[in-house]
């Protein structure tokens, strides 16, 4: 139970740190002399760190448990967050941003694995509950971003670096017995670690996941920049935008728990979320005023918020014997999308406008919904 509490506490820390780049984007641009196009390029190139983690994770998993990978990911992120806060040019900020993706990948991949292993009996409830905790904490992160924008932006990175360090030390201090045996298959070959990619249904589902996660990645950066640049919003307006986005996300995840408990098909719920995301992004594209933009952000949050927790429950139901492989491929799929989508958005901004980029994101969610429908298959009892 103690580790479960630490995992949920760490998710709250992640919510605050995850709001820094998007919420403080304007300050980072000024301090490090980064253009809007370079911001998109930076978001894409940073995923090289995630790609390195993806390739090496099957090898690391043979020697380290998911719990050890979790600790290494948290401590590495602590160092890189500090580096980002101290950077004052594109080269240094970009380098630490890339390395932060590497540490974040290790943490993100092993986090759910640890949660499942410490409390298998309640994993279908714990996963949505963890995402719900993240959403609630993200709402309060909006106030934190407002405070940082009104005072000293880089203090946020320094404070989060310290929080990550403290959490890493707590995970070390309370390490449970038997973690070295979690999900480790020493007899596996490297090809066995990616065997799901030979499953057609899974590949179609993965395409959905890649697109959906790439859109979510862009949703926490570009709408906030639009609030500042298209709607002339200041610190309070950007903070409120973060609150609206995560309030919608919180409601989405709050509804997901009873729906899944009642036996509603995860795939149908995900399809509805795709449609809501399309509407929110389309509304933001057409937003004539700041108030309409806020409503669109709430709808975007309502659509995207449930995607990750519900999709993880779907994965556990369909492929219960491949949890580590699922976690790694899911994370790498997200990485591929996070490389491509910001680049595509950057091209649209260069040739059209920031506003038009939201039309691209809306259409992308429509394509994701089609892949989701095409992936329909039999669920395996968990």
Which homologous superfamily is 2-374 in? MFS general substrate transporter like domains (1.20.1250.20)
For 143-147, the CB contacts below 8 A with 24+ separation are 143/239, 143/243, 144/16, 144/19, 145/19, 145/20, 145/23, 145/24, 145/235, 145/238, 145/239, 145/242, 146/235, 146/236, 146/238, 146/239, 146/240
Helices 266-286, 354-374: axis angle to 10 degrees equals 160
pLDDT in 10s for each residue of the chain, 382 residues? 588 899 999 999 999 998 898 888 889 998 999 888 888 888 877 777 777 777 777 777 778 888 899 999 999 999 999 999 999 999 999 999 989 988 888 898 888 888 888 887 777 788 888 988 988 898 889 889 989 988 898 999 999 999 999 999 999 999 887 766 665 555 555 555 677 888 888 999 999 999 999 998 888 888 888 888 888 788 888 888 888 888 888 888 888 878 887 878 888 999 999 999 999 999 888 888 888 889 998 999 999 888 888 888 888 888 877 777 787 788 777 778 888 888 898 889 888 888 899 999 999 999 999 999 998 754 443 3
Both tokens of residue 87?
């950077």
pLDDT value of position 170? 96
- For the chain, what are the domain ranges? 2-374
Residue 245 near residue 322 (C-beta atoms within 8 A): no
Q: How far apart are the C-alpha atoms of 115 and 110, rounded to whole Å?
A: 9
pLDDT value of position 381? 39
Both tokens of residue 208?
């959905």
pLDDT value of position 91? 92
Report in angstroms the alpha-carbon separations of 67 from 151, 173, 216, 313. Answer: 37, 12, 27, 21
pLDDT value of position 188? 53
Report in angstroms the alpha-carbon separations of 352 from 51, 349, 358, 360. Answer: 30, 5, 11, 11
């Amino acid at each position: 139970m103690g580790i479960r509490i630490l995992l949920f506490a760490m998710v709250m820390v992640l919510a605050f740190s995850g709001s820094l780049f998007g919420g403080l984007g304007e300050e980072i641009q000024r301090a490090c002399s980064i253009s809007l196009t370079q911001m998109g390029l930076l978001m894409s190139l940073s995923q090289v760190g995630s790609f390195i983690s993806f390739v090496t994770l099957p090898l690391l998993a043979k020697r380290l448990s998911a719990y050890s990978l979790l600790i290494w990911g948290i401590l590495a992120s602590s160092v890189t967050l500090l580096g980002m806060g101290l950077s004052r040019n594109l080269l240094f900020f970009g380098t630490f941003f890339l390395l932060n993706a590497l540490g974040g990948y290790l943490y993100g991949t092993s986090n759910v694995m640890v949660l499942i292993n410490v409390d298998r009996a309640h994993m279908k409830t714990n996963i949505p509950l963890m995402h719900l905790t993240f959403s609630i904490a993200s709402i309060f992160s909006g106030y934190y971003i407002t405070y940082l924008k009104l005072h000293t932006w880089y203090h946020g990175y320094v404070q989060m670096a310290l929080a990550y360090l403290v959490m890493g030390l707590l995970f070390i201090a309370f390490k449970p017995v038997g973690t070295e045996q979690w999900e480790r298959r020493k007899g596996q070959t490297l090809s066995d670690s990616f065997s799901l990619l030979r499953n057609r249904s899974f590949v179609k589902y993965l395409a959905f996941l890649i697109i959906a996660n790439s859109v979510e990645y862009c949703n926490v950066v570009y709408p906030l920049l639009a609030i500042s640049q298209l709607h002339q919003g200041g610190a309070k307006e950007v903070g409120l935008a973060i609150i609206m986005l995560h309030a919608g996300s919180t409601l989405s995840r709050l509804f997901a728990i009873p729906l899944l408990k009642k036996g509603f098909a995860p795939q149908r719920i995900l399809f509805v979320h795709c449609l809501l995301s399309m509407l929110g992004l389309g509304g933001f594209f057409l937003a004539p005023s700041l108030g309409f933009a806020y409503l669109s952000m709430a709808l975007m949050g309502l659509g995207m918020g449930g995607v990750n927790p519900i999709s993880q429950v779907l994965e556990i139901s369909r492929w219960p014997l491949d949890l580590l492989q699922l976690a790694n491929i899911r994370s790498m799929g997200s990485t591929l999308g996070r490389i491509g989508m910001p680049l595509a958005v950057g091209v649209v901004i260069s040739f059209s406008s920031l506003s038009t980029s939201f039309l691209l994101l809306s259409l992308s969610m429509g394509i994701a919904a089609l892949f989701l429908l095409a992936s329909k298959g039999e669920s395996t009892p968990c």
